[in-house]
Amino acid sequence: MLLLPPASIAQRYSVRKITTDDGLSNSCVVSIAQDKTGYIWIATEEGLNRYDGNSFEKFYKNDPDNSLSGNELNCILDDPRDSVLWIATQRAGLNSFNYKTRQFNVFMPRQDQPDGISSEAITKISPAKDGNIWIATYWGGVDHYDKASGTFTHYNPKTVPGWCDGHIWTVTENFKNSRIYIGYNENGMAYYDRAKKVYKIFAHDDHNPLSLPHNEVLSLLADSLGRVWIGTRKGVVRFDEKTESFLRLDTIAAIASKAVFDIRLSHDNILWLALEFGGIAIID
C-alpha cells in the first residue's frame, strides 16, 4: 500500500529546510549519513558538511596532507564498526575520515599497487557482511576493501569470467547468502555468488513482463529478510532469487515510471523510495 498522509495528519508535522543560507556548502545534496556520535554528515557537489543541529563544519579539498581529495562527492557511509566516515568522490578516489582523530586517508589507484583501489571514480559505498566495505566504481568494477590488511579485492572482467564491462552505479551484499548485487548504468542488474563462483546478469526484455523494467539501475537494497529491491529509471521491483524473476509494482501509479534514486527499509517494514521529481514514496 502506498501511504499518502491526508491533510489533517500532514498538518501535525512541520518541515524545516536547511540551505546554503544556513551554512550548507552547496544546495546539491547527494548523500546523508549519521555517525556513531550523533552528528549528521551531508555530502554535496561542493564539499562535505558536519551538522550538529545548529551549525555546520565544512570540509573541502584544501590541505594536501589532511583533507578531502576532491570536493565533488557521490556517496558517504558511516563504517559498520569503526569511527570512520567513508567518502566517495566523483573523480578523486576514496576518502576515509576518522572522526575521533580527525585524520583523512585517501585511496587512489596506482600501477605499482595491484591490490590497491581499482578506480578514482567511486559511485557507491556499502557495508559488507564481514564488517568491511564494498566499493562500486564507474570504470573499474567492484572492489572489496579489507580494513585489516589494507587491500582491495577486485571484481571485474579480469577476475570474474563473464563479468559485464559496464559502468556501475551501485552495489550491495545480501547478508543471507553473501551474493553481491551490481547495478549498471546501461546494462541492467547482475549478481555474483562468491560461494558458487557464479555471475549472472539480467536485462530488460520488452516481451517479458517479469523482466527488469529498465536497464539503468540506480539503487539496490538487500533487506534483513534477504529480499532484494532494485530501483531503476522506471520504477522499483523486487527480485525473487528462487525464480530469478522481478516482481513489479506497476499498479502503483505514483512510482511506476519514476526513477528511484535510493531505497531504505525501516524497522517497521516500511519501504521508503527517493524519486526523481516525485519526492518520497512510502510503501507498507
pLDDT digits (tens, 9 = 90+) for 117-130: 999 999 999 999 99
DSSP state of 258: S
Q: Which of 106, 98, 104, 111 is nearest to 122 (CA)?
A: 106
Residues 149, 116 contacting (CB under 8 angstroms) = no
Q: What are phi and psi of 266, to 5 degrees?
A: -80, 170
Q: What Cα–Cα distance (Å) separates residue 60 from each residue in 26, 38, 43, 72, 181?
A: 12, 21, 11, 9, 32
List the beta bridge partners of residue 229: 221, 238
| Sheet containing 189-193, strands listed edge to edge, beginning at the edge strand earlier in sequence | 168-174, 179-184, 189-193, 198-202
Q: What is the pLDDT of residues 179-203, one digit of tens each?
A: 999 999 999 999 999 999 999 999 9
> Terminus-to-terminus CA distance in the chain, angstroms?
5
Q: What is the mean pLDDT of residues 4-12?
A: 42
Q: Is 152 exposed, middle or buried (0-12, 13-18, 19+ CB in 10 A)?
A: buried
Q: What is the pLDDT of residues 140-163, one digit of tens each?
A: 999 999 999 999 999 999 999 999
pLDDT at 8 over 90: no
The pLDDT score that the predictor gives to residue 4 is: 42
pTM of the model: 0.91
Place of cell 540506480: 218
Instruction: Give the model's confidence band at 1: pLDDT under 50 very low, under 70 low, under 90 confident, else very high.
Output: very low
Q: What is the pLDDT of residues 79-97, one digit of tens each?
A: 999 999 999 999 999 999 9
Nearest-5° Cα angle at 32, 75 to 260: 70
Q: What is the mean pLDDT of residues 68-77?
A: 96
* Percent of the chain predicted with pLDDT > 70: 93
**Of 253 and 261, which is predicted with more confidence?**
261
**CA atoms of 178 and 193, how far apart (whole Å):** 7
